[in-house]
Structure 1
Amino acid sequence: MADHENAWVPDACAIAGIGATAYTKASGVSVTALAAEAALAAVRDAGLEVDDIDGMVRSDYDEVSQAALADTLGIDDLRYWGQTGAGGAAPCAMVGQAVAAIRSGLATTVLVYRALNGRSGRRLGKGVHVEGGVGGNSTYLELFSPWGMTSPGQFFAMLARRHMEVNGLTPQALAEIAMVCRRRANANPAALMYDRTMTEDDYYSARKIADPLRLFDFCLENDGGAAVVVTTAERARDLAQPPALIRSVTQATGVRVGPGQMYPVLMGESLTELPSRTAAELLYARAGLRPADVDVAQFYDCFTITLLVQLADYGFCRPEEASDFVTSGALDLAGALPVNTAGGQLSESYIHGMNHILEGVRQIRGTSTSQVDGARVSLVTSAPPPGTSALLLVGE
C-alpha cells in the first residue's frame, strides 16, 4: 500500500475548463444535445478548441456514449475513452480516470461529462422492482423489492433513523442542511431554487416521504448537463482560466461493499460507517493535508442525511457531534466549513454530482456566487454507497 500511495503525484493535473447547460424541468432536447452544450462550454471556458480534446470519460449511468458525443462535437480521432460508476459515486472518480489517462500518456486533454433528462426523461429517483418478482441480477434486489424497499429515499431514511438511534441525529440538523443549501441557491441565478426561499416553517410543514425524511430532505429532479476539461497543470497554466490543481483524488469501496447500488449496505455490520470514511483517509494522505486545511466543501447531497454522514467521515466532527456541528451554523457561508455554495443537489441542480465539481472549481477561481474569502483548498465528494470518490482541489 505504501508504494502505491507514493506513486501519486499531487498537482500534476488540473481542471482547466468548466461548462454547464441551464438547469430545467423540461429541456426539450436530447441528452446528447445537453452533453454537447456543456462540453462546448467547458472547452471554450478553457480557451481550447474541440480538436484539442483527445479523451473522454463518462458515468456508467450516462445515456450519451463517447462516440456519440465525439461525433456531435466533430472530433475526428478520440484516442482514449473511459467509464466509471456506480451512479452518483462516479463524478470525482471520472476526474481521477482522466488524470490516470493523462499521466499514463493515453491522452493529453480529457473531457469529463454528465448529462441527463432527469425530470422529463429517465427519473433516477423512481422506485425499482425485480422483473418477474424473482432474481436480482447479482444486486440482491430480490431481498428488498418484494418487501417494499424500492427507492433511494427509503434506503437513506433507514440510515437517518439509525443515526438518530446511535448518534443522536436531530430533525433540526436535517432542517438546517436543507436551509443552508437553499440560501446558497438563492444567491445563484443558475440554481433551480434561485427565486424560492425556504423558512424553517416551510421545511417542517412539508410532507414526509420516507420517515424521518421530508420533501425538502430530497434532492431535485431536473434536466441538464455539466462538463469539465482536465489536462496537465503545466498546460493549464497557459490557458484562459486559473487552473484548479488536482491535489488529490481517490476512490474507495470500504470493507465488504456488497453488490448492487446501495441496498446491500443494509445487510452490513454497521449502517453508520460508509465508504467515505475509507476514501477520506487516503484522500488526505495523498494530498498531505488535514480536514482543518479545507476551506470549503461540496458534499454529495442526494438527501440531507447523505451530507450529514460525510461530515464525520471526512473528519470535521465525530459522528455523535454531527447534529450540534450543523446547528451551530458551521455550514453557512461565514461558518467553519461552508458547504454546497451553489445550492447543491438539494437546491441548485441534480446532475449526479458533476455540478459539485464545477462549484469546487469556481471556489478556487474566486468566481462563486457565494464565494468563500481566501478559499484555497476545496473538497468535492461523490455519493458514499456502494463505493465513493472524492477530490481535493487547490489554487496556486
Structure 2
Amino acid sequence: MSQRAPGSARPAYAGKAAVTGVGYTKLAVSGEPRSVLDLALEAARAALADAGLTAADVDGVCSYGLFNDSVTSQAVGTGLACNDLSFTLDLNNGGSQPAFAVLNAAMAVASGVASTVIVYRALNGRSGKKVGSTHFDSPSGQFRYPIGLNSYPQYIAMWSRRFMIETGATSEDLAAVVMKQREYSALNDRAVRRDPLSLDEYFSRSYVVEPFRTVDCTVEVDGAVALVVTSVDRAADAPVTPAIIEGGAWVTGRGSGLDIADLHSWPDFSRNCQHLLAPRLWKSAGLGPTDVDVAEIYDCFSPAVLYGLEALGFAERGEAGDLIRSGETGLTGRIPTNTHGGLLNEGYVHGMNTVTEAVLQVQGRGERRQVKDAEVSVATSGVLVDGSAIVFRKGN
C-alpha cells in the first residue's frame, strides 16, 4: 500500500470513527408486507448485536429516505428503547445518501456530539412506493408526463445512451456488468437474483427502456439494512474487526435540487457525480485507486458500474467494459467490484447494502465472496447529479 502524502489535508473525522456491527432483514420481493418501522428496528437490533452493544449504548440515530418512504430516526430511537439521544438526522435524496449518512455519523462521533450512532435505511420498496414506476409530483411533471417521460429508468437511460455514445461503451459492456455480478450474487445467500446469466440469456431479456433490459435494472425489495458507527477507541472492544472510516466526500452538482428531473440540466451526461467527487474523496483519505482492494459501486442500473469504475480511476475512460471482461473485477482480480452482486442482484435498499458490503469486506466477513487480504475498500452512493463516497480501512 502506498504511503500518504506528507502534509496532505484530511478531514477531522478521518481515522477517528469506525463501523463495527452490521444488520440486515430479509430482502423480500413477495409475502405479507411489514411496517417500515418494524423492518428498521429488526436491522438496527441485528447491527447492535453484531457490535456487541445494546440500545442503552446508542445516543445517535441517522437515516435517509426518498419522498417520505421511511420512518424517522427519532421513531427508531424510541422503538429501540434508547436513552436520551444527542444526535438525530434524517436526510432525503435516496440512493445518493448512504455514504454521506455514515460520514455524518462519523463527524458526530469524532466531534463528541455522539458516541455510538445507528445508521439505517428501511423501506417497502416492493410492496409500497416503487421508485422505478411511480409518478412523483414535481414542477416539471406537467411537461414530462403528457409526452410519456414519466419514470426514473427513462431518465437514467438518457444519461446512459449519451455515455455510450461518448465513450464507445456497448450493450456487450452492460451485459458484462450483469453477468460478472451474477457470479458474485450466486455466492450471496441474501441476493434476490442468484441464477447465472449467459450472454445469450442477457440479450433474450426484454427491454424496459433502451438500452436497459430487465436485468440491467435493480430489484426493488422490502427490507432494511443498518450499521453501527462509534469511535476507534470504542471499536477496539467490539467482537468484530472495526472498519475505520478513512475519508469520504459528497457533491451536489450544479443545477440540482429543484425537481426530480433536474438532472436534465446537467452539462455532460457522459459524466456523473462520482467524476466530480473523486479528487476530494482520494484527498480526504490520503489514498488513491491503486491502494484500494475492493470497490462497491452503486448500481441502480448496470451502466452506473461503468461510470463509477472510470470516475474513481480504476479504468480509463471508455475502458471499464474491457476491465470487467478481463476478469479484473472478479474475486481474484485487480479490483473486485460489487462483491455482493450489487443492487442489481442483492436488492435495492437504496445503496445502504453497498456500504455494508464494503464494511464486511475489510472486516474479513465476506464469507464465500471474501476478497483475500482486503484492507481498503471504497463504496459509492448515487449515480446522477448528487452523490457521495466513503473509504474504509481494516482496523487492528
- TM-score by length of structure 2 reads 0.93
Distance 1:173 1:112, change over 3 A: same
Q: Unpaired runs of 5+ in structure 2?
A: 1-6
Alignment check: 8 A CA contact 1:15 1:229 kept: yes
> Aligned equivalents of 2:90 and 2:340: distance in 1?
26
Are 1:45 and 2:50 matched, yes or no?
yes
Distance 1:220 1:11, change over 3 A: same
Residues 4-36 of structure 1: CA deviation (Å, up to 9, x unaligned): 954434211000110001111135321111100
Distance 1:4 1:365, change over 3 A: closer
2:97 maps to what in 1? 90
Q: CA deviation at 1:258?
A: 5.3
- Look up the equivalent residue of 1:31 and give its one-letter code: V
Alignment check: 8 A CA contact 1:156 1:305 kept: no
Alignment check: 8 A CA contact 1:12 1:245 kept: yes
Secondary structure of the residue aligned to 1:226 is: strand
Distance 1:189 1:251, change over 3 A: same
Instruction: Please identify, of 84-93 and 74-83, the stretch whose mean Cα deviation from structure 2 is larger.
Output: 74-83
Alignment check: 8 A CA contact 2:36 2:123 kept: yes
Alignment check: 8 A CA contact 2:184 2:369 kept: yes
> Aligned equivalents of 2:130 and 2:263: distance in 1?
22
Distance 1:98 1:27, change over 3 A: farther
Secondary structure of the residue aligned to 1:144 is: helix
1:259 maps to what in 2? 258
Are 1:285 and 2:278 matched, yes or no?
no
Alignment check: 8 A CA contact 2:293 2:376 kept: yes
2:216 maps to what in 1? 217
> Aligned equivalents of 1:319 and 1:255: distance in 2?
22
Q: CA deviation at 1:301?
A: 0.4
2:235 maps to what in 1? 236
2:249 maps to what in 1? 250
Alignment check: 8 A CA contact 1:86 1:386 kept: no
Q: CA deviation at 1:302?
A: 0.2
Instruction: Please identify, of 3-12 and 265-274, the stretch whose mean Cα deviation from structure 2 is larger.
Output: 3-12
> Aligned equivalents of 2:167 and 2:333: distance in 1?
22
2:197 maps to what in 1? 198
Are 1:173 and 2:168 matched, yes or no?
no
Alignment check: 8 A CA contact 2:185 2:346 kept: yes
Alignment check: 8 A CA contact 2:251 2:386 kept: yes
2:342 maps to what in 1? 344
Q: Unpaired runs of 5+ in structure 1?
A: 131-135
1:153 maps to what in 2? 153
Alpha-carbon RMSD across the aligned residues, in angstroms, is 1.8
1:60 maps to what in 2? 65
> Aligned equivalents of 2:141 and 2:111: distance in 1?
38
Are 1:317 and 2:315 matched, yes or no?
yes
Q: CA deviation at 1:129?
A: 5.1
- Look up the equivalent residue of 1:277 and give its one-letter code: H
1:185 maps to what in 2? 185
Residues 131-169 of structure 1: CA deviation (Å, up to 9, x unaligned): xxxxx34xx444433322211211121122112211101
Q: CA deviation at 1:211?
A: 0.7
> Aligned equivalents of 1:26 and 1:234: distance in 2?
42
- Look up the equivalent residue of 1:213 and give its one-letter code: F
Alignment check: 8 A CA contact 1:298 1:339 kept: yes
Distance 1:79 1:26, change over 3 A: farther
Q: CA deviation at 1:337?
A: 1.4
Distance 1:27 1:78, change over 3 A: farther
Secondary structure of the residue aligned to 1:359 is: helix
Secondary structure of the residue aligned to 2:21 is: strand
Q: CA deviation at 1:103?
A: 2.0
Q: CA deviation at 1:176?
A: 0.9
Q: CA deviation at 1:102?
A: 1.4
Alignment check: 8 A CA contact 2:73 2:90 kept: no
Alignment check: 8 A CA contact 2:191 2:345 kept: yes
Residues 90-147 of structure 1: CA deviation (Å, up to 9, x unaligned): 00000011012112222110000001111112212114254xxxxx34xx44443332
> Aligned equivalents of 2:114 and 2:60: distance in 1?
6
Alignment check: 8 A CA contact 2:266 2:385 kept: no
2:12 maps to what in 1? 8
1:19 maps to what in 2? 23
Instruction: Please identify, of 385-394 and 143-152, the stretch whose mean Cα deviation from structure 2 is larger.
Output: 143-152
Q: CA deviation at 1:86?
A: 1.4
- TM-score by length of structure 1 reads 0.93
Are 1:103 and 2:103 matched, yes or no?
no
> Aligned equivalents of 2:208 and 2:198: distance in 1?
19
Distance 1:373 1:191, change over 3 A: same
